Structure 1
Amino acid sequence: MIQSTEIKKILKQSKRIAVVGLSNKPNRTSYQVANYMLQAGYTIIPVNPTVDEVFGIKAVPTLKDVDGPIDIVNVFRRSEALLEVAKDTVDVQAKVFWAQLGLYHQEAESYLAKHHVPTIMNQCIKVAHQQYI
């Protein structure tokens, strides 16, 4: 379990957030959370094969299609999809895996730990940012 001091450090040091499952619909939680993080100064990379763009930013279908380094992979997919996203996170050498509130997968957590990827699950990045930054 990552402590609050580590979460604060992650949020302060990170710049680029790949948002897996980011919707282009303003009423969706993923849109609202990513928009907040965008307004807070982070670079948002929409990762969703079913949308063309979000916030005027071209979406990519998978993490492997992201150009450049990824500081945080922020996931808005069902818990059963987390292991696949965790494997992609390791493959693209992203620094941190963050699954949103309500999302948890034990096998994904173990896989990420084995590969030394700091992992936060079942916690909203927006709430954490408001709390620690």
Structure 2
Amino acid sequence: MPIEGDDELRDILELDTVAVVGCSSTPGKDAHEIPKYLRDHGYEVIPVNPFADEIFGREAADSLADVDEEIDIVDVFRPSEEVPEIVDAALERDDVDTVWMQLGIRDDDAAKRAEDAGKRVVQDRCMKVEYGRLMG
């Protein structure tokens, strides 16, 4: 079951490094403003976007496989139909603790695969909202 309890969410929000798949270079878009908020609140944000060269003054990775740093959380800002592929990429990494799907994004089958592989999963929740509610 995807994580919904406040204690478990708080535990996830205490992690440090977030790879944001679908991070946008366009100010005003949620996929830009929410990662910016996370950066401003102490998270190491790694933008993952094959169509951007740089976001937040940092080189954007083309894929999760191209990220050299260790990743704690994969934060998904892509349509639900792309989640299975993103989960596959997350499962290829030993370092990913949690797959977090933003508001409106969910895939129960992919979530179960991630959980069966030992990953924590959050679906259809905003990291910014949960951070403000639980950590702010």
Deviations 1:1-40 (A, max 9, x none): 311101101111x111000000100011010000000000
2:129 aligned to 127, 130, 133, which one? 127
Q: Specify the SS of the correspondent of 2:113.
A: helix
Write the distance in 2 (CA, Å) between the matches of 1:114 and 1:44: 26
Q: Percent identity?
A: 34
Write the distance in 1 (CA, Å) between the matches of 2:52 and 2:81: 21
Report how far residue 101 of structure 1 moved: 0.2
Structure 2 counterparts to residues 1-133 of structure 1, below 5 A = 1-2=2-3, 3-12=5-14, 14-93=15-94, 94-133=96-135
Q: Which amino acid aligns with 1:125?
A: M
Aligned-CA RMSD value: 0.7
TM-score for the superposition, normalised by structure 1: 0.97
Report how far residue 122 of structure 1 moved: 0.2
Write the distance in 2 (CA, Å) between the matches of 1:122 and 1:59: 24
| Gaps in structure 1 of 5+ consecutive residues | none
Q: Which amino acid aligns with 1:122?
A: D
Q: Specify the SS of the correspondent of 1:129.
A: helix
Write the distance in 2 (CA, Å) between the matches of 1:107 and 1:17: 23
* Runs of 4+ deviating beyond 4 Å: none
Q: Which amino acid aligns with 1:32?
A: E
TM-score for the superposition, normalised by structure 2: 0.95
Report how far residue 68 of structure 1 moved: 2.1
